[in-house]
C-alpha cells in the first residue's frame, strides 16, 4: 500500500500566558501515515489535549507548522480551516455530543449536510453503511438519548466517518466504557485502519489500549519522549 503522510507536526511550541507563562508543548514533531493507528499518552498535564486541539486545527495560536494531507495550514483563514476540517478530519469526543432529540440516523448524517457534496439519499445510504459496519443499524431510528454509553460511542464513530475523512481523532475513547465495550471500540478503530485505510489518532489514559495501537506517542512535560 502507498505510504502517504496525512499529518505532519513540525516543531510545535505552545505556551499559555494566563496567569503566568507556561510552556505546554516544546518542539513537538512527528508524522502519521495513511492507515496508522496511533495513540497519544502521558501524565495528566503533559499536554495531550492541548496537542490534539492543535492537530485538529481548532487552535491556531501556536508556533511551528502543521500539514494535513500535504497542505501547510500556516496561512489559512478560519473559513479555509473549517472546510478542511470537515473534509479531512472526523472527531469522536468523550462526551459524544449527540443531539438527543434526533434519531441515530440523523445524528450520523448531520456533518454530511455541511459538505453539501452528495444528495440526501446518498448520505442516508452512507450512514446506513457505517451503522451496519459498526453493528448498530438496528438502532438507526432510535433517539440518541435511548442508547447506552457504548452504543452512543459507536454512533459517534459512525458520525465521524460520514464525510469519509482521512484522519479520525478521538479524545479518551474508552473513558466511560467498561472493558468489554473498550475492546469493541479498539477493534472498530483497528478495522477502520485496516479495511478503510483511515488514520486513527487517539488520546488516552488507558495504557492497555494504547500499547495495542500500532504507534504510541508519549508526552512528558510537553516534549515527546517516545514515538
Ligand atoms: N487555557 C489554558 N490556560 C492556561 N493553562 C492551560 C490552559 N489549558 C491547559 N493549560 C495547562 O496546560 C497544561 C497541559 O494541559 P492539557 O490539558 O493539554 O494536559 P493533558 O495531558 O491533556 O492532561 P489530562 O490528562 O489531565 O487531560 C496543564 O498544565 C494545564 O493546566
Task: Give the tens place of pLDDT for each residue, 10-39.
Answer: 999 999 997 899 999 999 999 999 999 999
Q: CB–CB of 39/215 below 8 Å?
A: yes
Angle at 145 between CA 144 and CA 147, to 5 degrees: 75
Q: CB–CB of 198/167 below 8 Å?
A: yes
**Is the interface score ipTM higher than 0.85?**
yes
Grid cell at residue 45? 498535564
pTM: 0.91
Residue nearest to atom 27 of ligand 1 (CA): 44
- Mean pLDDT of the region 62-83: 94
Ligand 1 within 6 A of CB of 136 = no
Q: Which of 150, 122, 115, 134 is nearest to 195 (CA)?
A: 134
Going from the Cα of 51 to the center of ligand 1, the distance in angstroms, rounded, reads 10
Ligand 1 within 6 A of CB of 49 = yes
Task: Give the tens place of pLDDT for each residue, 137-193.
Answer: 999 999 999 999 889 989 999 999 999 999 999 998 888 788 888 888 899 999 999
Q: CB–CB of 220/227 below 8 Å?
A: no
The domain total for the chain is 1
**Residue 204, domain extent:** 5-226
Question: 72: Cβ–Cβ under 8 A, 6 or more apart, which residues?
Answer: 65, 66
Instruction: Provide the pLDDT for residue 2.
Output: 58
Amino acid at each position: 500500500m502507498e505510504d502517504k503522510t496525512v499529518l505532519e507536526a513540525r516543531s510545535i511550541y505552545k505556551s499559555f500566558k494566563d496567569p503566568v507563562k507556561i510552556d505546554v508543548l516544546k518542539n513537538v514533531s512527528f508524522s502519521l501515515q495513511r492507515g496508522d493507528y496511533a495513540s497519544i499518552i502521558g501524565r495528566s498535564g503533559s499536554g495531550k489535549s492541548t496537542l490534539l486541539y492543535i492537530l485538529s486545527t481548532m487552535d491556531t495560536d501556536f508556533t511551528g507548522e502543521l500539514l494535513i494531507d500535504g497542505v501547510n495550514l500556516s496561512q489559512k483563514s478560519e473559513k479555509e480551516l473549517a472546510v478542511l476540517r470537515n473534509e479531512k478530519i472526523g472527531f469522536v469526543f468523550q462526551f459524544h455530543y449527540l443531539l438527543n432529540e434526533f434519531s441515530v440516523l440523523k445524528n450520523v448524517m448531520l456533518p454530511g449536510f455541511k459538505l453539501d457534496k452528495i444528495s440526501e439519499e446518498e448520505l442516508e445510504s452512507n450512514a446506513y453503511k457505517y451503522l451496519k459496519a459498526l453493528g448498530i443499524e438496528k438502532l438507526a431510528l432510535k433517539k440518541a438519548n435511548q442508547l447506552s454509553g457504548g452504543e452512543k460511542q459507536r454512533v459517534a464513530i459512525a458520525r465521524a466517518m460520514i464525510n469519509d475523512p482521512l484522519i479520525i481523532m478521538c479524545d479518551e475513547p474508552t473513558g466511560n466504557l467498561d472493558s468489554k465495550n473498550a475492546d469493541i471500540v479498539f477493534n472498530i478503530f483497528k478495522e477502520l485502519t485496516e479495511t478503510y485505510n483511515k488514520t486513527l489518532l487517539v488520546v488516552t489514559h488507558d495504557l492497555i489500549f494504547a500499547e495495542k495501537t500500532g504507534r504510541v506517542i508519549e508526552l512528558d512535560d510537553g516534549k515527546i519522549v517516545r514515538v
